[in-house]
C-alpha cells in the first residue's frame, strides 16, 4: 500500500509541474505579445525583433 501511495504522490507532483510549466509559458507568451504590440505602436523595430526572437525561443 505504501508503494502505491508513493507512486500516486509522484504522479500527482508530475502533473502539478506540467500545469505550472504551462501556466508560466502562457504568462510569458502573453507578456511578450503585449510588449510586441507596444513596440509596433511606437515603431521600435529593434525591440520588435528582439521580442519576436524571444517568442520564437519560447515556442521551441
Q: Which residue has the cell 526572437?
A: 53
Q: What is the pTM of this model?
A: 0.80
Q: For 14-45, what is each residue's pLDDT tens digit?
A: 999 999 999 999 999 999 999 999 999 999 99
Report which DSSP code applies to 1: -
- Give backbone dihedrals phi and psi of 43, rounded to 5 degrees, phi first: 75, 25
Q: Which three cell numbers stand for residue 27?
A: 504568462
**Would you say 58 and 29 are in contact if contact means Cβ atoms under 8 Å apart?**
yes
Determine how many CB atoms are found less than 10 A away from the CB of residue 12: 10
Q: For 1-15, what is each residue's pLDDT tens digit?
A: 588 888 999 999 999
**Would you say 17 and 50 are in contact if contact means Cβ atoms under 8 Å apart?**
no
Amino acid at each position: 500500500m505504501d508503494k502505491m501511495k508513493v507512486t500516486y504522490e509522484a504522479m500527482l507532483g508530475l502533473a502539478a509541474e506540467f500545469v505550472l510549466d504551462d501556466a508560466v509559458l502562457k504568462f510569458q507568451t502573453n507578456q511578450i505579445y503585449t510588449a510586441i504590440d507596444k513596440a509596433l505602436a511606437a515603431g521600435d523595430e529593434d525591440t520588435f525583433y528582439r521580442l519576436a526572437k524571444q517568442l520564437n525561443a519560447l515556442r521551441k
